[in-house]
A and B are shown apart, each in its own frame.
Chain A
Amino acid sequence: DAGVIQSPRHEVTEMGQEVTLRCKPISGHDYLFWYRQTMMRGLELLIYFNNNVPIDDSGMPEDRFSAKMPNASFSTLKIQPSEPRDSAVYFCASSDPGTGNSYNEQFFGPGTRLTVL
C-alpha cells in the first residue's frame, strides 16, 4: 500500500491567495483527519470525516478554511484567502475502524509545508 498521499509537499504563496491541499487516504480506511502543526500550538486537529461525512470541524480556525471529501479516496483542505499565520505543516491521516473500532491507529501522510508570505 502506498500509504497516505498528500500534495503538494511544499507550497509557497502570497497573502490573499487561495491554497488547496490534497489528500488521498489509504484504501479502505473510513476515517480521514486533517491536522495542522506549528511550533506555537503543536498538533491540532482541524476536521475529520467518517465515510466522507464531516463529523467534527470544531478545530477549523475560521471561515477561511474549508474541507471537502467528495469520495472515499480524495479530500481537500482549502484556505481562502491565505494569511501569513496560516504557515504551518498540514497533515492528513486516515484510519480503519476494522470491526467497528473507531480508535485504531491513524496513519499519517508526509505533510504539506505551507508558507504564506
Chain B
Amino acid sequence: AQKVTQAQTEISVVEKEDVTLDCVYETRDTTYYLFWYKQPPSGELVFLIRRNSFDEQNEISGRYSWNFQKSTSSFNFTITASQVVDSAVYFCALSEAYSSNTGKLIFGQGTTLQVKP
C-alpha cells in the first residue's frame, strides 16, 4: 500500500538556523514520483519540487535542498539559513506511475514549520 509519513508534526527554529523536514514513503511501484508542497499561512498550496524514482541526485535550489534515498525510502527537505517567510506547513507527497493510483497524489500529514525572528 502507498503511504507517506511525515513524523514531525511541528518544528520551531530561530531564524538563520538550518532545518530538515523528514519524509518517508511506502510504495510497491518501481516507478513513482515524490513531491514537496508548501502551504503558507495564506492557505494556498505551492509546488516546490518533483523527483522521479530513477533520479537519486540531490537537488539544491537556493536555500532549499532535497535528499532522496531509495535505500531508506526517504525524501528529506532541508532549508538552510531559515527565514521567517519560510514559516508554513510543508507536505510531502507520492504519486505512483503504473498502479491504479496513477495520477493521484498521496500526501503526508504535513509538518508545520515556525521560524522565529
Contacts and interface: CB of A to CB of B under 8 A. Distances in A.
Contacts of B107: 42-43
Contact of A42 (B33, B50, B110): B110
Interface string A85-117: 000010101010000001111111111010000
Interface string B76-117: 000000000000000100011100111111011110000000
A45 B105 contact: yes
B44 interface: yes
Interface stretch (A15-23, A48-56, A64-72, A76-84): A48-56
A103 B44 contact: no
A16 to B, nearest CB: 27
Question: For the complex, would chain B's binding face be called helix, strand, loop or mixed by DSSP majority?
Answer: loop
Interface residues of B, number: 24
B43 A89 contact: yes
Interface in B33-82: 33, 35, 37, 43-47, 50
Given A56-B100, A93-B45, 20 more contacts: A31-B103, A33-B105, A42-B107, A42-B110, A43-B91, A45-B104, A45-B105, A48-B104, A55-B103, A95-B103, A103-B32, A105-B35, A105-B50, A106-B105, A107-B47, A108-B37, A108-B44, A108-B46, A108-B47, A113-B43
Closest 7 pairs (CB-CB, A-B): A108-B45, A103-B95, A43-B107, A102-B103, A105-B47, A103-B33, A42-B109
